[in-house]
């Protein structure tokens, strides 16, 4: 999976599985549920199941809806639509019952990797007229459901103000940025059955990334010819030496920019970039946006 190419479904599923196993995701997942009382899911691309079904904070009304074929189909159609519309930025859609579901994209450079999802809430108090309209739709579909039980569940739906929900989605957006950074690290550090020579090369690059590092210099450090090292490194890592070094440096810049007082130019030179024009071009290619925009979104979202 390279930053400039399309992410395959297999790549997306593998990446999501690694992210789900990470400590940062498990900690955030727990904190998000406890703080907001809402469900949360990280799902790969084009996996049209019900990502929030079975979540500890799943809406009881949605849990009942998931148990019938017709309503499940309607929810799956909405999942497909929200995925289509949330590729570049967070998107919120309403289901046939008026409940909101939202998806926040997780991107690595130009690649869409996954979605963070939450929702199953109302932005206003539930009322009889909307519930009656919902039941008419269910009857039209021929859905067999205990209406009394459904009504009780509907009126237990979590109500969140629009401003509160926007803040919740900002939290998810910030977390999506962290997952994007983690995804990039996984790509850089991906463990393969590589030779000790490639492991030494990785370590040498990580140690000397701040220098004006060349392929010939790294090849010499691991006692290989530049030509053979170039072929071996690409085969082992899936990236050219230049692409790998760029990823390592961009990751370093992102870590440095977590400090709100660090200037972008300072971070660029500390990470080993030799010119700001080169840095801006490489950062945009790998991160999918300019470094100033990345910093603005990171610290701007944290201030709101």
Q: Residues with Cβ < 8 Å from 37, sequence gap 6 or more?
A: 57, 158
Alpha-carbon distance of 298 to 301, in angstroms, equals: 6
Residue 214 has pLDDT above 90, yes or no: yes
Sign of the C-alpha dihedral, residues 55, 108, 279, 219? positive
Here the tokens at position 18 are 């690694």
Same domain, 155 and 200: no
At 217 the pLDDT is: 94
pLDDT per position as a tens digit, 63-76 = 988 877 777 778 88
- b/e 94-120 (16+ beta carbons within 10 angstroms → b): ebbbbbbbbbbbbbbbbbbbbbbbbbb
Q: What's the CA gap between 9 and 47, in Å, rounded?
A: 9
Ramachandran assignment for 238, one of left (phi > 0), alpha (psi -120 to 50 degrees), beta (any other): left
pLDDT for res 2: 38
For the stretch 238-255, pLDDT in tens is 789 999 999 999 988 988
Domain boundary among 184, 204, 237: 184
Q: CA-CA-CA-CA torsion for 264, 267, 268, 272, nearest 10 degrees?
A: 180
Q: Please tell me which of 11-15, 184-188, 222-226 the model is most confident about, judged by mean pLDDT.
A: 222-226
pTM for this entry: 0.63
In tens, the pLDDT along 23-74 reads: 889 999 999 999 999 999 999 888 777 889 889 999 999 998 887 777 777 8
Same domain, yes or no: 75 and 21: yes
Q: Are residues 174 and 253 in the same domain?
A: no
- Residue 191 reports pLDDT greater than 70: no
Tell me which residue range forms the domain holding 179: 9-184
Confidence of residue 216 (pLDDT cuts 50, 70, 90): very high
Strand order in the sheet with 91-94: 41-44, 111-121, 100-108, 91-94
Both 158 and 17 in a single domain? yes
The answer to whether residues 78 and 205 belong to one domain is: no
The pLDDT confidence band at residue 7, using thresholds 50, 70 and 90, is low
236/158 same-domain check: no
Could you tell me if residue 276 is inside a domain?
A: yes
* Band of residue 6 on the pLDDT scale cut at 50, 70, 90: very low
> Residue 295 half-sphere exposure, CB side, CA atoms within 13 Å?
21
DSSP state string for 207-240: HHTTS---HHHHHHHTT--HHHHHHHHHHHHSS-
Rounded Cα distance, 43 and 104, in Å: 11
pLDDT of residue 303: 46
For the record, the structure tokens of 32 come out as 């998000």
Confirm whether 4 is domain-assigned: no
Together in a domain, 161 and 228: no
- Count of the separate structural domains present in the chain: 2
Beta-ladder partners of 106 = 114
pLDDT at 113 over 80: yes
> Is residue 111 one of the residues assigned to a domain?
yes
- Considering 2-6, 166-170, 228-232, the range whose residues carry the highest mean pLDDT is 166-170
Of 184, 211, 235, the domain-final residue: 184
Average pLDDT, the chain: 86
- 273 in a structural domain: yes
Tens of pLDDT, residues 168-182: 999 999 999 888 888
Distance CA(143)–CA(185), nearest Å, equals 47
Question: Is the distance from CB of 107 to CB of 180 less than 8 angstroms?
Answer: yes
How far apart are the C-alpha atoms of 237 and 192, rounded to whole Å?
Answer: 8
Q: What is residue 272's predicted lDDT score, i.e. its pLDDT?
A: 93
pLDDT in tens, 125-146: 999 999 999 999 988 888 888 8
Looking at the fold, whether 173 and 245 belong to one and the same domain comes out as no
Tokens 């509907």 — which residue?
154
Which pLDDT score, from 0 to 100, does residue 300 have?
61
Same domain flag for 270 and 243: yes
- At 97 the pLDDT is 92
């Amino acid at each position: 999976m390279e930053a400039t190419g399309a992410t395959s479904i297999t790549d997306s599923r593998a990446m999501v599985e690694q992210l789900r196993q990470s400590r940062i995701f498990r900690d955030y997942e727990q904190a998000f549920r406890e703080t907001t009382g809402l469900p949360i899911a990280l799902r790969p691309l084009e996996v049209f199941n019900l990502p929030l079904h079975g979540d500890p904070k799943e809406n009881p009304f949605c849990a009942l809806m998931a148990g019938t074929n017709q309503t499940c189909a309607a929810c799956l159609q909405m999942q497909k639509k929200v995925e289509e519309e949330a590729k570049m930025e967070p998107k919120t859609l309403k289901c046939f019952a008026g409940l909101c579901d939202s998806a926040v994209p997780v991107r690595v450079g130009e690649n869409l990797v996954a979605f963070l999802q939450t929702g199953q809430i109302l932005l206003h108090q539930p009322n009889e007229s909307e519930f009656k309209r919902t039941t008419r739709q269910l009857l039209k579909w021929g859905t067999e459901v205990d209406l009394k039980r459904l009504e009780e569940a509907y009126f237990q739906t979590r109500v969140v103000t629009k401003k509160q929900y926007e803040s919740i989605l900002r939290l998810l957006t910030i977390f999506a940025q962290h997952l994007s950074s983690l995804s990039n690290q996984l790509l850089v550090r991906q463990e393969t059955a590589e030779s000790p020579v490639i492991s030494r090369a990785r370590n040498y690059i990580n140690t000397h990334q701040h220098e004006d590092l060349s392929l010939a210099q790294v090849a010499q450090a691991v006692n290989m010819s530049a030509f053979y090292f170039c072929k071996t490194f690409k085969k082992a890592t899936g990236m050219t030496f230049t692409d790998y070094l760029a990823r390592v440096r961009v990751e370093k810049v992102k870590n440095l920019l977590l400090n709100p007082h660090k200037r972008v130019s300072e971070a660029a030179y500390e990470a080993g970039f030799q010119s700001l024009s080169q840095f801006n071009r490489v950062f945009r290619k790998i991160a999918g946006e300019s470094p100033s925009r990345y910093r603005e979104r990171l610290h701007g979202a944290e201030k709101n």
